[in-house]
Amino acid sequence: MTTLVLTGRIMCVSAQGEASTVVVRDGVIDAVGGPEVAAGLHGADVRRVDHGSALVVPGFVDPHVHLGHVATGSRYGVDCRVPGIQTIADVLDALRDGLTEGNALGGWLRGYGNLFFDQKLAERRLPTRDELDRVSRTLPIQLQCGGHTSVLNSRALELARVERFLGGAAGGWGAPVVEVDEDGRPTGVVAEIDAMLPVPELSEEEQHAAVRTTYSEELLRFGVTTIGEMAESTAEVEMLDALVSLRELAGRVTAYLIVPSGLPLGEAVRWASGYRSAAGSSRMRVAGLKMFADGGYSSRNAATRTAYVEDHAPHRHYRGRLNLTEAQLHDVLTLVRDADLQLAVHGNGARAQDEVLAAIEHAGNPFGHRRVRIEHAGNILGCIEDLDRWRRTNVIPVLQPHFLRNFVADFVPMLLGDVALHGRLPLRTMLDNGVVPAASSDIALGYEVGQSNPLLSILECLERRSYYDRIVEPQEAITFAEALRLHTIEGARALGIDDLVGSVEPGKRADLVVLDRDPTTDPIRMLRETAVAEVYVDGDLVHSA
Give domain status of residue 22, yes or no. Answer: yes
Number of compact structural domains in the chain: 3
- Specify whether 271 is located in the same domain as 374: yes
- 171 pLDDT tier (thresholds 50, 70, 90): low
- Specify whether 49 is located in the same domain as 138: no
Identify the weakest region by mean pLDDT among 38-42, 156-160, 473-477. Answer: 38-42
Give domain status of residue 327, yes or no. Answer: yes
- Specify whether 180 is located in the same domain as 256: no
- 110 pLDDT tier (thresholds 50, 70, 90): very high
Give domain status of residue 431, yes or no. Answer: yes
Give domain status of residue 64, yes or no. Answer: no
- The answer to whether residue 169 scores a pLDDT higher than 80 is no
Q: Do the Cβ atoms of 348 and 297 come closer than 8 Å?
A: yes
Of 143, 172, 196, the residue that ends a domain is 196
Q: C-alpha distances in angstroms, 475 versus 420, 427, 431? A: 16, 9, 13
Tell me what pLDDT residue 172 has: 61
CATH number of the domain within which 420 lies: 3.20.20.140
Q: Do the Cβ atoms of 397 and 390 come closer than 8 Å?
A: yes
Q: How crowded is residue 417: how many other Cβ atoms within 10 Å of its Cβ?
A: 14
Of 171, 196, 221, the residue that ends a domain is 196
**pLDDT (tens digit per residue) in 416-456:** 999 999 999 999 999 999 999 999 999 999 999 999 999 99
- Specify whether 449 is located in the same domain as 526: no
Can you give the three-state secondary structure of 317-349, one letter per residue?
A: CCCCCECCCHHHHHHHHHHHHHCCCEEEEECCC
* Mean pLDDT computed over 167-195: 81
Give domain status of residue 500, yes or no. Answer: no
Half-sphere exposure of 68 (CA within 13 A, CB side): 26
- Specify whether 346 is located in the same domain as 461: yes
- 168 pLDDT tier (thresholds 50, 70, 90): low
Pairing verdict, β 186-191 and 141-145: unpaired
Give domain status of residue 41, yes or no. Answer: yes
Task: Give the burial class of 60: count Cβ atoms within 10 A of its Cβ; 0-12 exposed, 13-18 middle, 19 or more buried.
Answer: buried
* Mean pLDDT computed over 340-363: 97
Helix (H, G, I), strand (E, B) or coil at 540: strand
**pLDDT (tens digit per residue) in 206-242:** 999 999 999 999 999 999 999 999 999 999 999 999 9
Tell me what pLDDT residue 74 has: 87
Number of H-type helices and E-type strands within the chain: 19, 21
Helix (H, G, I), strand (E, B) or coil at 470: coil
Tell me what pLDDT residue 174 has: 63
pTM for the model stands at 0.96
- The answer to whether residue 147 scores a pLDDT higher than 80 is no
Tell me what pLDDT residue 242 has: 95
State how far the Cα of 402 lies from the Cα of 419, in Å rounded to an integer.
21
- 504 pLDDT tier (thresholds 50, 70, 90): very high
**Which residue range forms the structural domain that includes residue 379?**
206-495
Find all residues with CB under 8 Å of 445, minimum gap 6, and list them: 66, 69, 70, 73, 74, 77, 112, 144, 147
Give domain status of residue 402, yes or no. Answer: yes
- The answer to whether residue 170 scores a pLDDT higher than 70 is no
Tell me what pLDDT residue 101 has: 80
**450: alpha, beta or left? (left if phi > 0; alpha if psi -120 to 50):** left
363 CA to centre of own chain: 28
CATH number of the domain within which 22 lies: 2.30.40.10
**pLDDT (tens digit per residue) in 11-24:** 999 999 999 999 99
Q: C-alpha distances in angstroms, 398 versus 26, 63, 135, 290, 345? A: 32, 8, 40, 13, 10
- Specify whether 288 is located in the same domain as 191: no
- Specify whether 256 is located in the same domain as 334: yes
DSSP H or E segment with residue 229: strand 224-231
State how far the Cα of 219 lies from the Cα of 216, in Å rounded to an integer.
6
- Specify whether 214 is located in the same domain as 304: yes
Tell me what pLDDT residue 192 has: 84
- Specify whether 175 is located in the same domain as 48: no
* Mean pLDDT computed over 233-259: 96
Of 495, 518, 536, the residue that ends a domain is 495
Tell me what pLDDT residue 201 has: 85
DSSP H or E segment with residue 132: helix 129-133
Mean pLDDT (the chain, rounded): 95
- Specify whether 23 is located in the same domain as 86: no
DSSP 396: E
- Specify whether 182 is located in the same domain as 277: no
* Mean pLDDT computed over 126-150: 94
Give domain status of residue 502, yes or no. Answer: no
- Specify whether 244 is located in the same domain as 165: no
**pLDDT (tens digit per residue) in 274-332:** 999 987 888 999 999 999 999 999 989 999 999 999 999 989 999 999 999 999 999 99
